[in-house]
Amino acid sequence: MKHSIFYFLLISLLISKNNIAQSDCKKNIKQAEDFYTAGEFDNCIQLTTSALKNCFYSKKEKEDAYQLLIKCYLETDNILEADKYAKKLLNNNPNYELKENNNFEDYNRLIKKFSVHPLLSIGLRNTALRPNFKTTKVFSVLLDGVDYNAPYVTTKTLLMYYGWIEFEFIKNLSLNAEFTGLNMEYERRFNKSNWNLSYNEKLSFLEIPFYLKKYFLTTKTIFPYASFGLSYLGLTKATANAQLDYETQSSITGEKQSTTIFENNINIISQRSKSNFLGLVGAGIGFRFKNFGLFIDVRYYKGINNLTQTSNRFNNNVLLNDYFYIDNSVVLNKFEGGICISYTLKNSVKKIK
């Protein structure tokens, strides 16, 4: 019980001392403002820098202190120190709004010499995309009446989530990268008299788009942009299902008999290119409020390399001999529209004039 009372008194004493210290810190800034008003700039500088070093100030209180120091250093023609604290002011609050009517011209001119823009941002992107597998060269098995130009049909619009990072190394020009897992599938159908083949394939990728984005500023908060770059698709899984329906006729009775054979979960990753690249172009519009951003855009991805591993095209004997199936040469294209929310982790503050 005695120990509990002792700890309670100790904590109360510490809180009381902290409250007194914080009260003194607030009084220091008020005293510094009085020094500035009276033209005692050296006293103002000494008291304010000491207070910043020894007190815990809120973001707004730091802003007031930095403004006071900038004005003092300008009054005493110490431009280097004024520059230093102008940069500290903007690092403390990258969204600082200059109220020109409340300040003298030298102060306004100094703040305008600095450029502030997001340097490093992260976000989450949600997209709706439609893949398209385009045949570039047709291959066939010697089977009369079968059209091996059968298209690679995708029936689903996919909803995807991407992790996103942006590095704006030059104002209005940034390098972007995203990361996601991507699953898609397609089917092909082959028909002739008394013979039908259905082929379905599921593919899994790790996708990493990386691209440049160019902003075109219209206002401080609204800006259209264009993007161009590459997307890397690393294949992690490829499985297929095949079903063949056909009719045979008895040579003795002349009766027709329907037969169905099927094979599921055929591993065909060795017949696919594990590394695939797509060129991308896009356009969109962004909105920023302080450190938060919202981006809405559309993109088109154009396949660069063949998705089919040409050297292994004839290696799957089950598909080739039992189902008379063979792949064409194809590239993967896709169109997507998306929306991204972001948060700026770090801003760039540079003197440009």
Q: What CATH code is carried by the domain that includes residue 101?
A: 1.25.40.10
What are 187's strand-pairing partners?
A: 153, 200
Q: pLDDT at position 207, please?
A: 97
Task: Count Cβ atoms below 10 Å from residue 159 Cβ, excluding itself.
Answer: 10
Tokens for 350? 């540079």
The last residue of one of the domains, among 93, 112, 131, is 112
Among 52, 336, 330, smallest CA distance to 182 is for: 336
**Same domain? 148 vs 197:** yes
**Same domain? 21 vs 64:** yes
Full 3-state SS string of 231-266: EEEEEEEEEEEEEEEEEEECCCCCCEEEEEEEEEEE
Residue 184 and residue 145 in contact, taking contact as beta carbons nearer than 8 Å:
no
Task: Count Cβ atoms below 10 Å from residue 264 Cβ, excluding itself.
Answer: 10
Which residues, in sequence order, are CB contacts of 170 under 8 Å at separation 6+? Answer: none
Q: pLDDT at position 14, please?
A: 39
Tokens for 112? 């305008």
Q: pLDDT at position 20, please?
A: 37
**Same domain? 62 vs 145:** no
**Same domain? 39 vs 159:** no
The pTM of the full predicted model, rounded to 2 decimals, is 0.84
**Same domain? 180 vs 108:** no
Q: pLDDT at position 107, please?
A: 95
Q: Domain count of the chain? A: 2
Q: What is the distance between the alpha carbons of residues 52 and 266, in angstroms, rounded to a whole number?
A: 69
**Same domain? 96 vs 127:** no
**Cα dist from 92 to 63, 66, 116, 183, 348, whole Å:** 7, 9, 12, 43, 11
Q: What is the distance between the alpha carbons of residues 127 and 337, in angstroms, rounded to a whole number?
A: 6
Q: What is the distance between the alpha carbons of residues 40 and 196, in angstroms, rounded to a whole number?
A: 95
Q: What is the distance between the alpha carbons of residues 336 and 21, in angstroms, rounded to a whole number?
A: 57
Q: What is the full per-residue pLDDT of the chain (353 aa) written as tens digits?
A: 544 554 444 454 334 334 434 557 878 888 989 999 999 999 999 999 999 998 889 999 999 999 999 999 999 999 999 999 999 999 999 999 999 888 899 999 999 999 999 999 999 999 999 999 999 999 998 888 888 999 999 877 788 899 999 999 999 999 999 999 999 999 999 988 888 999 999 999 999 999 999 999 878 889 999 999 999 999 999 999 999 998 877 666 667 788 999 999 999 999 999 999 999 999 999 999 989 999 999 999 999 999 999 889 888 989 999 999 999 999 999 999 999 999 999 999 999 87
Task: Count Cβ atoms below 10 Å from residue 283 Cβ, excluding itself.
Answer: 13
The last residue of one of the domains, among 112, 139, 172, is 112
Tell me 152's DSSP state. Answer: B
The last residue of one of the domains, among 56, 78, 112, is 112
Domain that holds residue 106: 2-112
